[in-house]
Chain A
Amino acid sequence: MGVRQIGARVHRVEDDNLIRGEGKYLDDIQLPNMGYAAFLRSSMAHAKISITDTEAARTLDGVQAVFTYDTLPSSLVSKTQLETYPAPIIKQSMCPELLANDEVAHVGQAIAMVIANTRHVAEDACELIQVDYTPLTPVVDVIKAAKSDSQLTHSSLKDNIAASIETKFGDVETAFEECEDSIELSFKQHRGGCHSMECRGVLGDWQQQLGELTLYSSTQCPYLVRRMVSRQLGCPESSIRVIAPDVGGGFGPKAGYYPEEALIAIASKELRKPVKWTEDRREHFISTNQQRDQIWKLEVAFKKNGEITALKGHVTLDSGAFLNYGLLLSATTLMPLPGPYKIKNLHVTLDAVYTNTVSTSPVRGAGRPNAAYAMDRVIDAVARHLSIDPAEMRQINLVKNEDFPYQPGSKHRNGSMMTYDSGDYTGMLAMVKEMADYDGFRQEQQEARARGKYLGIGLACFIEDTGMGPYEGVNVRVDVTGNIIASTGATSQGQGHATVIAQVIAENLDIDISKIRVEAGDTGKFPHGIGAIGSRTGVNVGISANDAAIQVKNKALKLASILLEKPEDELELSDGAVRARSDSNQFITLADLALQLSPAVAGKLPEGFETAGLEAVSYQTTDYMPHSSGANIAKVEVDVVTGGIKILDYYVVHDCGRILNPMIVDGQIIGGVVHGIGNAMFEQMVYDDSGNPMTTNYGDYLLPLASEMPEIHVAHIETPSPANPMGLKGAGEGGTIPAIGAMINAIEDALTPFDAYIAKYPVTPEYILELVDGEKMAAE
């Protein structure tokens, strides 16, 4: 065997192009005779609209077409965006019209689309379109929106509730009746955006003579886009090829299907030419889905020794103006409860509520960061109530190693019982405490307080259901040059999937990684795929690549056995050839084997081989969902004069089972932690009472920068998952999920002398000083 690949810190195969500036992102694609699209978007949060004049725009020099609701082709199956994830439990489903007809429901909703010779001219033309707005009452506050007598976010609704769901197990009422003590707590979790550095973008290239559309989209889910555009336009799926080129970050909101994808397809088809739309940053703020506005009210029952016995409460989730991603946010908020903690009785209800703000859908972690935050705030609140150290409190309540496989009582979306497959939650807690010198810091904290310095330390423990099915297939093919082509439905937005796939194949086929070419993100190259969501790709694609590579290896050995006239167990595959173990001069190369299986005209396949090609396809999946887990510690110092927070250090112990590439896993975790820190401290999407977004540039909406970020120390334990043959668990979101809780717990810990309770995030310096001054603010 050659060098071990799986588990090695292999540099990424993606990097060479990207560090040279030779990547190919959506906006980098230039096709001859291409038109450029721009959208006129609503400037009001809620209004009846009437488009009174498009003539000036149409006749502007350089304008090719202006589309409005009325001028969309009648051949469309629907002029309203089709539901991406319909579900019977959705009480009132609202999806936007592709272009607004007579009512707009948020600032940023698309009203008209202009195609012109340049983007500049398209924007010039948008300014010339006349729209009359008759204002309707905007509904911005989600708590008010949830009330039965609220003004409506859309005229067609009965109330603003999109759906109500719950998670329930055990006997909560009895547990509360019999509990030794209980507390209530409430808090507000705030929305943020994905803010991939590349905004969204779509390029449609309709080929009239073929009746085919190639649609490039900066998407996480090209197969979903193909399906939805096909259904929307009434074209067969086979006539649409969706390509996700290099994608500059996704983080969730690029996993959906958007009106612009259908509209650019329509424009290209109608104009019979390529049309490109590149979302600009202001559009990103007002038209790309956001996430995380939730208001929680909880009651916790517990014993005097700290053991939590029951949890109940209610979540109000802000859906924004539309429900264009089904109930995935709602489901992923409730499903992970109660996280890594053993709570046998639980009942939490959730209302998903419409408001006249930008729609929400999963952002890095989906509802899981909200759920993890809730649990870690519960643990700290009870710890404080009982004067138990928060670390000790976690030790008491965590699921123990002997409990695996552990069923908390909650159910998956498919109705099956949630099962934590494996882990070492208490071991990780001990490890992260050790890394952070938890006890030493407590000492330091006391001494610092005496000097008027406020240090804080915060803990968070989490689980993450990963590797969701149904599959992510991989085809491994040896071509006649001896190179390996792996094609897959998995789509990358920077995670390094190509490297990991190549590693798995290289190890199995004992071949240099440079001989492996990975083709992905193109529905024309591989028939089926799901997409990069929910920390699922590494698991699904890892086991499929592994399985396909093993099949190819077995096929190669079988054929070589015939050709070399040696039994298979006397052969080995190494360095691009099958060799006799006894005599390495007796060999046949993979290239030659591939040639045998791809005979020329009048040739025939070798005996015993029914399909051509030295290749195999695999759609492996996990038996049940592998659960990653982790324990985090944040250390902060709070300046009680300015309200400024300095993050001193951040520690992560993470378990994603067997690690395919530690460099990539660490990168995912560190980036994810910083995203969580952004949510905790910086990122704030502010709407005024009229529903106008107040933070639509990067001077007002604050993303985390290098200058404020701490060193993030990452360590791993590897408890292989029994749910799949490779022991894999997902790693894409495990950085973000616990980070908000760890940060807020640390900040609150620093403010212990002020008896502060943090009821909302992001924690602004202003809020810090309110807490220091005792102006406690309860979540509404």
Chain B
Amino acid sequence: MQEQDVRMHVNGKQVSGKVETRTHLGDFLRQAAGLTGTHLGCEHGVCGACTVIVDGDAVRSCLMLAVQADNCEVITIEGIAQEDGSLHPLQEAFRNNHALQCGFCTAGMITSLYAFLTENPERNEEEIREAISGNICRCTGYQGIVLAAKEAASKMAKDRN
């Protein structure tokens, strides 16, 4: 029982395969599903780079086994843009506000904010800063990310109303 079949919906597409049970979800997405946009920054649940959305919740994909995501709906950074390729307001705002430099933490930042702002886009700066305090960025000093989140939040609020 050290290997099991898993099957999940990732970005709307079915992904399945046999995995070692010790494989965490991040490794599964990167290797079996070929979705390398999810990055592993620490593999102990602190840096937030590997954040993905599982059944609507932002989670650390290094802190969940792939077999635990069996039958789940998973959204990764590759699934944030529209199907026609047009960017999500968060992605637009990240570019507009220079919210990324090396881009390694970006996937986790965007997926975290996507879950956080989708739940409720009416957020102030302090709430946004707290929301991304579980995501480490070494390049930007966070300021561009906070500005991007605010810009996207107001767009998302408008789109919702």
Q: Which residues of A contact B (CB under 8 A)?
A: 11-12, 14-25, 27-28, 30, 120, 194-199, 246-249, 251, 280-281, 493-496, 663-664, 666-667, 670-675, 697-699, 703-707, 709, 711-712, 735
Contacts and interface: CB of A to CB of B under 8 A. Distances in A.
B17 interface: no
Contacts of B98: 11-12, 663-664, 666-667
A198 B104 contact: yes
A195 B102 CA distance: 13
Nearest to B40: A27
B106 A18 contact: yes
Contact of B94 (A19, A23, A249): A19
A699 B130 CA distance: 17
Contacts of A712: 141, 143
B47 interface: yes
Given A697-B44, A707-B129, A15 B100 contact: yes
A498 B138 CA distance: 20
Given A281-B43, A707-B129, A20 B142 contact: no
B76 interface: yes
B41 interface: yes
B106 A22 contact: no
Given A697-B42, A698-B44, A707 B136 contact: no
20 contacts: A15-B100, A18-B106, A20-B37, A20-B78, A20-B91, A21-B78, A27-B36, A120-B23, A198-B41, A199-B41, A248-B102, A251-B138, A281-B44, A667-B98, A670-B143, A670-B144, A698-B42, A703-B136, A706-B145, A707-B133
Given A11-B95, A494-B103, A667 B144 contact: yes
Contacts of B74: none
Contact of A711 (B31, B102, B143): B143
Contacts of A496: 101
Interface in B114-161: 128-130, 132-133, 135-146
Given A197-B102, A249-B104, A707-B129, A698 B37 contact: no
B49 interface: yes
Q: Which 7 A-B pairs have the closest CB atoms?
A: A21-B37, A494-B102, A248-B104, A18-B103, A21-B77, A674-B141, A698-B46
Query: Interface of chain B, helix or strand or loop or mixed?
Result: loop
B141 A25 contact: no
A494 B139 contact: yes
Given A28-B36, A698-B42, A707-B133, A19 B100 contact: yes
Contacts of B144: 667, 670
Interface range on chain B: under 10, 10 to 19, 20 to 34, or 35 or more?
Answer: 35 or more
Interface of B: 20, 22-23, 30-31, 34-44, 46-47, 49, 76-78, 80-81, 87, 91, 94-96, 98, 100-107, 110, 128-130, 132-133, 135-146
A197 B133 contact: no
Contacts of B140: 667, 670-671, 674
A248 B110 CA distance: 16
Contact of A197 (B22, B49, B95, B145): B49
Given A19-B106, A494-B103, A705-B133, 19 more contacts: A16-B95, A19-B87, A20-B77, A21-B38, A194-B138, A196-B104, A198-B41, A198-B102, A246-B102, A281-B44, A663-B98, A664-B98, A667-B98, A667-B140, A667-B144, A671-B139, A706-B128, A706-B133, A706-B146
Given A21-B77, A249-B138, A494 B101 contact: yes
Nearest to A18: B103
B49 A706 contact: no
Contact of A699 (B46, B81, B107, B143): B46
A247 B104 CA distance: 8
B91 A19 contact: yes
Most chain B CB inside 10 Å of its own CB: which residue of A28, A246, A248 = A248
A597 B113 CA distance: 51
B153 to A, nearest CB: 15
A21 to B, nearest CB: 2
A494 B44 CA distance: 24
Nearest to A193: B138
Contacts of B37: 20-23
Most chain B CB inside 10 Å of its own CB: which residue of A28, A495, A712 = A28
A20 B102 contact: no
B129 A671 contact: no
Contacts of B42: 281, 697-698
Given A23-B103, A496-B101, A195 B44 contact: no
A421 to B, nearest CB: 28
Contact of B136 (A11, A28, A247, A705): A705
Contact of B41 (A18, A281, A493, A670): A281
B138 A25 contact: no
Contacts of A194: 138
A251 B101 CA distance: 12
Given A197-B47, A280-B43, A705-B133, A493 B102 contact: yes
B32 to A, nearest CB: 11
A11 B99 CA distance: 11
Nearest to A22: B37
Contacts of B104: 23, 25, 196-198, 248-249, 494
Contacts of A494: 100-104, 139
A249 B81 contact: no
A496 B98 CA distance: 10
A15 B95 contact: yes
A360 to B, nearest CB: 18
A698 B103 CA distance: 19
Contacts of A23: 37, 103-104
Contact of B101 (A199, A671, A697, A703): A671
B23 to A, nearest CB: 8
A542 B87 CA distance: 31
A709 B44 contact: no
A676 to B, nearest CB: 10
Most chain A CB inside 10 Å of its own CB: which residue of B35, B103, B133 = B103
B102 A196 contact: yes
Nearest to B107: A21
B155 to A, nearest CB: 15
Most chain B CB inside 10 Å of its own CB: which residue of A197, A494, A673, A703 = A197
A673 B41 CA distance: 22
Contacts of A493: 102
Nearest to B46: A698
A451 B15 CA distance: 62
Contacts of A706: 128-130, 132-133, 135, 137, 142, 145-146
Contacts of B46: 697-699
Contacts of A709: 129, 141-143
A23 B39 CA distance: 10
A493 B102 CA distance: 6
B36 to A, nearest CB: 4
Contacts of B106: 18-19
Contacts of A671: 101, 138-141
Contacts of B30: 27-28
A12 B47 contact: no
Nearest to A119: B27
A247 B103 CA distance: 9
A759 B8 CA distance: 55
A673 B103 contact: no
A280 to B, nearest CB: 6
Most chain A CB inside 10 Å of its own CB: which residue of B78, B98, B140 = B98
Contacts of B105: 197
A706 to B, nearest CB: 4
Nearest to B148: A19
Contact of A667 (B101, B103, B133): B101
A107 B154 CA distance: 49
A248 B141 contact: no
B101 A197 contact: no
A672 B139 CA distance: 7
Contact of A670 (B95, B129, B141): B141
A30 B27 CA distance: 13
Nearest to A678: B138
